Amino acid sequence: MNFVKKGKAKTEEVISNYKGSLTESEVLITIEELKKTKCLELDEDIIMITQLGKNIL
């Protein structure tokens, strides 16, 4: 997401990107876990990578 979408994407785009690899539920759980660790922020249905998330990459 950081490189392809410049650090910002709609939730549905992320789910679609991983279709065939992960279930929708797995993607949503992963997003929540990354949000808890401050690697991602959510603004309604927009997911944004934080500076911490960028540093980890």
Q: Return d(Cα 23, Cα 48) in angstroms, integer.
A: 21
* Per-residue model confidence (pLDDT) at position 43: 94
The model's pTM: 0.84
| pLDDT above 80 (res 49) | yes
CA dist., res. 42 & res. 36, Å (int) = 11
pLDDT, tens only, 1-29: 545 567 899 999 999 999 999 999 999 99
Contact 46, 7 (CB under 8 A): no
Residue 14, CB half-sphere, CA atoms under 13 Å: how many?
A: 26
- pLDDT of res. 1: 57
